[in-house]
């Protein structure tokens, strides 16, 4: 072939490539077509900056590949769960899932690939032209088990479809959280699902944490509710697990937009008013052979319950129901939780103490790694939480492992 023809062919190929790049549908994370659940803030470029386990819903039509452009200060893990409303790929249910590891720095990560080629696509392959909705959720807590806050924020800049197709407004598919149902969880490693993906005996590893298997996510699935979860392994109400690492305590951290940022702005509580709040703090306070009770524990918990009550107070409405749980990893803080609930209620809170100490002996396989609840343990905790919150809100309690992303995660994930 003559040189000129090569040049012409290259020019044609380059033009086609440019056209493909220009044609690729891209949506900023904060684009109205995308739905975000969780605490975070938009940046000037339309990206979403967060560190707590946030979730993103993206619906596509005729997509080949879905990518996310992500910057991260630390490592992060994203769970992707897919649903196909047009059938074949997932049999019209929430289906396969995959894990994407995000490294520090900036990169474009493939979330779902080869949708048009069922020989190539692996577990997330679907025929082209299907309507596919994916849920992308951060699996790990703000800054995994860290004793000191080090900025571990993640920026999800945008979602793209490099192989064609379009991003459409989030489809009305089953099992999505309802925007009119909101539940907030505040806790430690138990709520952050530290060590959930294993069975005792084992030592918890970062990859064994998954927010999607926490009783928080499971409870919200049973109640079709949106979840906000502020939970940090090793932190307590007035003392943290490692006494030689004073760090900050949960009453300060739980107010932050970004848990891992010491001077984080305070979250705008009016932007997301929960219908119920579930608190489980005390396991780290009472640890390590400390003389128990710590005198400040009970009054601080009562103050936290009152702070929560005040921040969500709506004139003419009864106070937000708060559930102050204790157990299942430790039980010695139960009496203080009960006393704090009583004190807060005497000052206008609507709190109840919930005993979860029977969870571990209550069934087999409920202990995961490093003494923390396994998936079965979290499941049992969630059944109790969903019953309590359903009772307080009047919401029907559905199956935790029904046709929703959490149910698919429990059925399909490894």
Verify binding: residue 41, ligand NAG, rule CB under 6 A: no
* Smaller CB separation from ligand NAG, 26 or 332: 26
Query: What is the SS3 string spanning 147-210?
Result: CCCCCCCEEEEEEEECCCCEEECCCCCCCCCEEEEEEEEEECCCCCCCCCCCCCCCCCCHHHCC
Q: Give Cβ neighbours of residue 401 (< 8 Å, ≥ 6 apart).
A: 221, 379, 407, 410, 411
Residues 351, 278: Cα–Cα separation, whole Å: 10
Report the residue from 113, 176, 304, 406 that binds ligand NAG according to the rule CB under 6 A.
Answer: 304
Verify binding: residue 385, ligand NAG, rule CB under 6 A: no
Closest CA to 252 of 292, 300, 296, 199: 300
Residues 296, 383: Cα–Cα separation, whole Å: 31
Closest CA to 66 of 53, 56, 77: 56
Report the residue from 9, 10, 16, 45 that binds ligand NAG according to the rule CB under 6 A.
Answer: 45
Verify binding: residue 248, ligand NAG, rule CB under 6 A: no
Verify binding: residue 370, ligand NAG, rule CB under 6 A: no
* Smaller CB separation from ligand NAG, 196 or 308: 308
Verify binding: residue 307, ligand NAG, rule CB under 6 A: yes
Q: Which stretch binds ligand NAG (CB under 6 A): 83-91, 163-171, 386-394, 399-407?
A: 386-394
- Which contiguous run of DSSP H or E holds residue 49? strand 48-50
* β partners of residue 136: 56, 80
* Smaller CB separation from ligand NAG, 68 or 124: 68
Residues 355, 22: Cα–Cα separation, whole Å: 57
Check if the beta carbon of residue 401 is closer than 8 Å to that of residue 411. Answer: yes
* Smaller CB separation from ligand NAG, 30 or 145: 30
Span 250-269, contacts to ligand NAG by CB under 6 A: 251
* Smaller CB separation from ligand NAG, 101 or 387: 387
Verify binding: residue 103, ligand NAG, rule CB under 6 A: no
* Smaller CB separation from ligand NAG, 94 or 159: 159
Rg of the chain over Cα atoms, rounded to whole angstroms, equals 23
Q: Which stretch binds ligand NAG (CB under 6 A): 2-10, 121-129, 143-151, 298-306?
A: 298-306
Verify binding: residue 85, ligand NAG, rule CB under 6 A: no
Q: Which stretch binds ligand NAG (CB under 6 A): 16-24, 185-193, 271-279, 302-310?
A: 302-310
Verify binding: residue 171, ligand NAG, rule CB under 6 A: no
Report the residue from 230, 284, 388, 404 that binds ligand NAG according to the rule CB under 6 A.
Answer: 388
Site string for ligand NAG, 51-80 (x = CB under 6 A): ------------------------------
Closest CA to 186 of 52, 361, 339: 52
* Smaller CB separation from ligand NAG, 167 or 287: 167
Residues 198, 205: Cα–Cα separation, whole Å: 9
The CB density around residue 225, as the number of other CB atoms within 10 Å, is 24
Verify binding: residue 281, ligand NAG, rule CB under 6 A: no
Verify binding: residue 247, ligand NAG, rule CB under 6 A: no
* β partners of residue 192: none
Residues 23, 73: Cα–Cα separation, whole Å: 30
Q: Using CB under 6 A, list all residues that contact ligand NAG.
A: 26, 28, 31, 45-46, 251, 300, 303-304, 307, 387-388, 391
């Amino acid at each position: 072939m003559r040189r000129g023809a090569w040049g012409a062919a290259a020019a044609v190929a380059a033009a086609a490539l440019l056209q493909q790049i220009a044609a690729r549908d891209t949506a900023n994370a904060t684009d109205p077509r995308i739905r975000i659940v969780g605490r975070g803030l938009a940046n000037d470029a339309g990206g979403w900056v967060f560190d707590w386990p946030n979730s993103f819903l993206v619906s596509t039509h005729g997509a080949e590949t879905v990518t996310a452009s992500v910057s991260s200060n630390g490592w992060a893990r994203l769970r992707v769960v897919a649903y196909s409303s047009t059938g074949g790929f997932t049999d019209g249910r929430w289906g396969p899932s995959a894990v994407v590891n995000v490294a520090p720095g900036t990169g474009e990560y493939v979330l779902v690939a080869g949708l048009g080629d069922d020989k190539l696509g692996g577990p997330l392959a679907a025929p082209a032209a299907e309507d596919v909705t994916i849920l992308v959720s951060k699996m790990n807590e703000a800054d995994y088990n860290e004793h000191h806050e080090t900025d571990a924020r993640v920026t999800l800049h945008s979602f793209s479809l490099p192989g064609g197709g379009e991003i459409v407004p989030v489809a009305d598919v089953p099992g999505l959280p309802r925007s009119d149902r909101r539940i907030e969880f505040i806790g430690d490693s138990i709520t952050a699902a530290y060590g959930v993906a294993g069975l005792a005996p084992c030592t918890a590893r970062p990859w064994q944490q998954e927010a999607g298997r926490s009783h928080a996510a499971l409870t919200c699935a049973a109640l079709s509710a949106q979840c906000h979860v502020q939970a940090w392994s090793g932190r307590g109400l007035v003392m943290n697990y490692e006494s030689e690492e004073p760090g900050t305590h949960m009453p300060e951290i739980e107010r932050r937009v970004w848990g891992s940022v010491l001077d984080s702005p305070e979250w705008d509580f009016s932007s997301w008013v929960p219908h119920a709040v579930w608190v489980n703090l005390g396991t780290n306070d009472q640890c390590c052979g400390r003389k128990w009770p710590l005198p400040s524990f009970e009054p601080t918990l009562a103050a936290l319950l009152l702070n929560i009550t005040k921040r969500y107070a709506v004139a003419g409405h009864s106070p937000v129901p708060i559930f102050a749980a204790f157990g299942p990893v430790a039980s010695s803080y139960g009496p203080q939780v009960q006393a704090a609930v009583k004190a807060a209620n005497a000052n206008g809170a609507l709190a109840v103490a919930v005993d979860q100490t029977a969870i571990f002996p209550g069934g087999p396989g409920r202990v995961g790694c490093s003494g923390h609840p396994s998936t079965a343990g979290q499941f049992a905790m969630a059944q109790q939480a969903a019953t309590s919150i359903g009772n307080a809100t009047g919401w029907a309690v559905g199956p935790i492992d029904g046709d929703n992303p959490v149910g698919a995660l429990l059925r399909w994930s490894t």
